[in-house]
Homo-oligomer: A and B are copies of this chain.
Amino acid sequence: MRMKNPVKRLLATLTQGVYVVGVGQGGLRDAFTASAVMQVSIRPPMLALAVNPANASFPLLVESGVFAVTALRHDQCAIADFFGTHSARDENKLAAVPWHAAPSGAPVLDEGVSFFDCRVVAQHPAGDHVVFLAEMTGGDFLQGHARPLRYDEVGNMDGSDELLPWHLGGQGDGSEEGR
């Protein structure tokens, strides 16, 4: 992908996936695209998720204390874009795609590689985001044979090419276009 910002190009060498995070239970549900998801504990299995508190889904995530992560397939760039850019709470994004409720009640997309049902155990500020630490209470394969989508394949979806600083101590111009 084309990135002008050298700090963005450097950060793109961190290997991250692309996920739709479903939040809410009962009548009020929402979902948004995230790339900051990883496993942080083995026993018990726990994930970390970083979320911008300005995200329209943030209050629902904090109030419900649960979320479900759908790992997107390599061919679901359009889904990543849709859930990444349509962020107004009053728009029912989930009406546009088939989904079902995980055991926690949080929404999971029917299509994807896999899903992880999670219960928040802690939240901590981290710069302009909040990091949620969550126990994995369930999960399963969806289309588990498919290759997951990588963050470096989706371009400048989150606008960070413009938001990131352009220089850091020791930060050079770097290679042409990364990988």
Contact = CB atoms under 8 A, between A and B. Distances in A.
A50 B50 contact: no
A127 B16 contact: no
Given A10-B140, A45-B165, 11 more contacts: A10-B114, A15-B18, A37-B38, A38-B38, A41-B127, A42-B163, A103-B169, A124-B133, A138-B170, A141-B174, A148-B179
A147 interface: yes
Interface in A1-57: 7, 9-11, 13-18, 35-48, 50
Interface of A: 7, 9-11, 13-18, 35-48, 50, 71, 102-103, 113-114, 116-117, 122, 124, 126-129, 131, 133, 135-141, 143-151, 158, 160, 163-165, 168-172, 174-176, 178-179
